[in-house]
Amino acid sequence: MDLNQAYNNVAAVGNFPQIMQRFRQRSAETYASHAWQRDIAYGNAMRERFDWYAQADTGAPTLLFIHGGYWQASDKDDYAFIAEGLIEAGFNVGLLEYTLAPEASMGTIVGQIGKALDYLLAHRDALHIGQRVVLCGHSAGGHLTALFRRHPLVTLAMPISGLMELEPISRCWLNDKLQLSEADIRRYSPQRLIGDGAPLLVTVGGAELPELIRHSREYASACREAGQAVSLVELAGCHHFAVLDDLARADGEQLRALLKATRSTR
Domain ranges in the chain are 3-264
What phi and psi, each to the nearest 5 degrees, are found at residue 51?
-105, 150
Average pLDDT, stretch 132-140? 98
> What is the structure's pLDDT at 14?
87
Tell me how crowded residue 138 is: count the other CB atoms within 10 A of its CB: 27
Average pLDDT of span 202-222: 98
Single out the residue of 227, 231, 94 nearest to residue 157, CA to CA: 231
The residues, ordered by sequence, that sit 6+ positions from 242 with a Cβ below 8 Å of its Cβ are 205, 207, 235
pLDDT exceeds 60 at position 265: no
pLDDT tens, residue by residue, 141-192:
999 999 999 999 999 999 999 999 999 999 999 999 999 999 999 999 999 9
- State which fold the 3-264 domain adopts: Rossmann fold (3.40.50)
Distance CA 145, CA 235 (A): 19
| Entry pTM | 0.97
* Amino acid sitting at position 254: Q
pLDDT for res 49: 99
